[in-house]
Structure 1
Amino acid sequence: MARSDRLFRLLHAMRTMSAPITAARLAEATEVSQRSLYRDIDALRAAGARIEGERGYGYRLIEDYALPPQTFERPEIEAIALGMAEVASLGDPVLAEAAASVLAKVAATLPDDREQYLLHAISQVFRPTPRYGATPHMETVRGACWREEALEIGYVDQNGAVSTRSILPLAVVYTDRTQTVLAWCCLREDFRMFRADRLRTVSLAESSFRPRRAPLLRRYLAELKARAASAAEPRQGAEGKG
């Protein structure tokens, strides 16, 4: 592994692990010997990182030279903490890990007093159970959205009927009760919504639809917005009745 990559991994470990962090834990997390770890910590310090601690006591990253200082106001810090807590409560382990990483990276860029606002935020999320059930295919779906790759899915509809579809995944929508995949259905040749909890199989179709995702998604969202506006309009002649 290149030394620059190793130093980056060390920084990431120090951002995300609870301080003080022993050399043994850091060496295990970065897959190096403790002797190499001590040299890497010295290299980071020489490059401008403020790292408190010493051998035998543990380390704490005080200031991260790799990220510029941030000047978030307290309500902005509350919003970040609340947003990441919401993401962590969804029940998706990949996004939960990402949320923790975001918090650690933001905290590393804040002055000490603002860091405390983030780590001990007043706004909290409490959910004894995840918001959504297990959705094992969502990482594949999200990856296909980003790469603009078609998917083959096995899907169970509300009546229990199973079908196989080819879809162009456009986005994932999180509502109060479900995760929903917005997509272009190649079978119906129209936009469709697929509930994540009804996806039985998901595989890449090895077919790219780049660069169509963005314009297709704009069209679909415009259609959904128009439908919502139409549904909200009062029925003709209904005014005045009561």
Structure 2
Amino acid sequence: MSRSERLLNLLQVLRHHRRPVTGQALSAELGVSIRTLYRDIASLKAQGAVIEGEPGLGYVMKPGFMLPPLMFAAEELDALVLGMRLIAEQGDQSLAQGASRALDKIYAVLPAELRRELEASALLVGAGRKVPPQAVDADVLRTAIRIGHKLELSYRTPAGAVSERTVWPFALVYFDLTRVLMCWCELRGAFRNFRTDRILAAKLLSTRSPRSRQALLAQWRRTEYVAGHSILPEATSGVR
């Protein structure tokens, strides 16, 4: 196990214990020597962790300390790299650029040993079919969700008719070939889902949604449609 993984494991164990725990108990839980444990505690303190205690009395860490990204375990780093590469390949332009910048920032702060692991990562994203062309920039949809404002949509139904809707967006679901905007629809007075490739125009309104996205998502999860199912198990489920 690398030093960075040891420090991350020690951090997680200290967070788990609300009361002082002895060095012997910590070393047994982590599978390291007591000497290594004391050295790792000193390293965490040097990085800003407030760990109170001393040998023979036990240790407890005050909440609020966050390690920098260099403390990712190997499997956590793999998950991040693969996720960023998927977004860079399959996301819209703005999101793809954001993923690439985020990966660059992670790379910049990694220690040499983990930077080499990232460079040699064998988790690659294969070429696949692309999401259908979108008439509306997904940034508009994400912004509406983030700031909690209403959207005015012009939407083409599966039958080809065009419908005008004012909605309260609260989530955007990404599938392989489809994206779905989840909303409360003022026209229907109910939850409705809209495929983004059928949205012809979207205007961000200055009016805030009466309910927050957290409240809307919580209510949506409680509906009869969702009960017992994962979110939108099929790309066309509940989509108008």
Residues 1:170 and 2:170 are matched in the alignment? yes
Partner of residue 133, structure 1: 132
Superposition deviation, residue 197 in structure 1: 0.3
Unaligned runs of 5+ in 1: 1-66, 233-242
Aligned to 1:85, what secondary structure does the other structure show?
helix
4+ residue runs of structure 1 moved beyond 6 angstroms?
A: none
What does 1:104-143 correspond to in 2, within 5 Å? 104-127=104-127, 129-130=129-130, 132-135=131-134, 136-143=136-143
Quote the RMSD (CA, aligned, Å): 2.1
Unaligned runs of 5+ in 2: 1-66, 234-240
Q: Is the CA contact 2:69–2:106 (under 8 Å) kept in the aligned structure 1?
A: no
Distance 1:146 1:172 in 2: 11
**Distance change (3 Å), C-alpha of 1:107 and 1:220:** same
Partner of residue 194, structure 1: 194
Superposition deviation, residue 227 in structure 1: 5.9
Residues 1:100 and 2:107 are matched in the alignment? no
What does 1:146-225 correspond to in 2, within 5 Å? 146-209=146-209, 211-223=211-223, 224-225=225-226
Please, what TM-score do these two structures have when normalized by structure 1? 0.62
Aligned to 1:89, what secondary structure does the other structure show?
helix
Partner of residue 145, structure 2: 145
Distance 1:222 1:116 in 2: 46
Distance 1:95 1:214 in 2: 22
Superposition deviation, residue 128 in structure 1: 5.0
Partner of residue 227, structure 2: 226
Q: Is the CA contact 2:156–2:163 (under 8 Å) kept in the aligned structure 1?
A: yes
Please, what TM-score do these two structures have when normalized by structure 2? 0.63
Aligned residues: 163
Taking every aligned residue pair, what percent have the same amino acid on both sides? 33
Distance 2:228 2:186 in 1: 22
- The residue type paired with residue 214 of structure 1 is Q
Distance 1:108 1:151 in 2: 38
**Distance change (3 Å), C-alpha of 1:97 and 1:117:** same
**Distance change (3 Å), C-alpha of 1:197 and 1:227:** farther
Distance 1:202 1:182 in 2: 14
Distance 1:84 1:70 in 2: 17
What does 1:77-92 correspond to in 2, within 5 Å? 77-92=77-92
Partner of residue 75, structure 2: 75
What does 1:40-51 correspond to in 2, within 5 Å? none
Aligned to 2:227, what secondary structure does the other structure show?
helix
Superposition deviation, residue 228 in structure 1: 2.8
